[in-house]
Each structure stands twice: as structure tokens, then as C-alpha cells.
Amino acid sequence: MSFKLSKAKMKCPKWMKRADFDRILQMDTEEALDEVERLKNELREYKRKWREENREKYREYKREYVRQWRKKNPKKAKEIDKRKQDKIRGDPVLLERARQLRRESRARTGIYTNKNERAIRMRRYYRNKSLKMAREKPNELRALIRAMVPGYLDPSAKMDVIAAVMEMALKNRVEFNKLNEAVKAAVTAYNRQFDHFKNVSIDAPIAGTDGLTRADLLDSETFHF
């Protein structure tokens, strides 16, 4: 049986050279099939050697190919991800392997290599959250701050404290999960600035008196430390 067919009925495969394709068309069936298999093996060997010699290029090629495919086929990509995750969760060996690969990846890229680095990332996350809220939802953030301001402050003082915390948030200096600490710091700064609370020595002279001190006003029976 002859393998000779009309060129109009067959197309040259993308991986095959046109000269090889034309040559195969002139062969008998068995000989043509053997030649096709030989060319395939030759191509596989060529690709294998190229991958070994260009590992980084090949990895980048695969990553880019996968990115482009997932971008064009988002629904299928989600379905594949779900099937893969279900399979991993159902197999202890695969689950441990996945965890090990994740640990190796994090160690290689320097992400989450220890608890301290994770804490740094979380602080950055919460500061950015406060910053975003101060920019996009300032009224909501002010309401949260207002609820944390002490009631003993007068309205103008409360407004100053709220403004101070908002300013810190806009400077990316407030962690959202520690908003109450930022409010306390602002209140302390306000009290210090306007002398709401002030440490005074009992041995210091009282203004407007002839050297009278607060210690002189204490009862002699008062316990002294």
C-alpha cells in the first residue's frame, strides 16, 4: 500500500520541516510511519537537550504560557485549581508535599521565613488599611476614633485628638488593629501640650505664697514613702 497522497489533502505539521514532509509523502506507508516516529524522537531529544541547557528560560517560558492560558480561560483555570486542591486535601502525602514546596518557595524568595518577618508584613497590611480608610472613608474612620476618645475631654479637645489620629493615619503611621493605641497616644500628647495632667513636686514653692510648699499642707500624720 502506497503512502503517496495529494498535497492538497494533507497539511505539513507545524513541528515538521516542509522538506521532510514532502519527502515522507513519497514514501510507502510503513516507511513513512517509521520516518515520522524517527523525526518525533529527534525533536523530543532536541527539546530535552535545550531544556537542560536553558533551564531558566524554559521555566520563564512555562510561567508565561500558563499566565496567558489562565488569562484567556479563567473559568477553566478555576475548575482545574479546585480539582487539584481537592485531590491534594484528600491525600496526606500530596498535602505534605504541597506544604514542603510552599516552605521551600518562601525560604527561597525570603517571604515569611520567620515569625518576625510575618509580623512586619502584618503591620504593613494594617497601616495600609488605615491609610486607605482615611483616604476613601474618612467619616467612618473618624466615627471609630471618636468612640475611643475619653469622655472627660471637652468637644474641642476631642476634635483635636481625632484630627491628630487622622493625620497619623494619612502618614501611614497607624495600624488599624491598634487604633485604640493611636488614640491613647494622641490623648497623652494633647494632655501634655495643654497641661491637663502635670507632675508637680510637693517640695516646689506654691506660686503666690511666701515659700509655702505642698508638703507643708500635708497633715503630719500622712504616711510618707
Say how far apart CA 165 and CA 180 lie, in whole Å: 10
DSSP 152: T
pLDDT digits (tens, 9 = 90+) for 57-70: 888 889 899 999 99
pLDDT digits (tens, 9 = 90+) for 142-151: 999 999 999 8
For the entire predicted model, the pTM comes to 0.41
94 and 158 belong to one structural domain: no
33 belongs to a structural domain:
yes
Contact 206, 213 (CB under 8 A): yes
Mean pLDDT of all residues in the chain?
83
8 belongs to a structural domain:
no
Cβ-count burial 90-108 (b if 16+ within 10 Å, e if not): eeeeeeeeeeeeeeeeeee
For residue 4, report the phi and psi dihedrals to the nearest 5 degrees. Answer: -70, 115
Reduce the DSSP state of residue 196 to 3 states and report it. Answer: coil
114 belongs to a structural domain:
no
The closest of 9, 59, 17, 10 to 40, measured between CA atoms, is: 17
**Residue 144 structural domain:** 123-225
90 and 181 belong to one structural domain: no
For the chain, percent of residues with pLDDT exceeding 70 = 77
223 and 133 belong to one structural domain: yes
Say how far apart CA 119 and CA 17 lie, in whole Å: 57
46 belongs to a structural domain:
yes
Contact 145, 165 (CB under 8 A): yes
6 belongs to a structural domain:
no
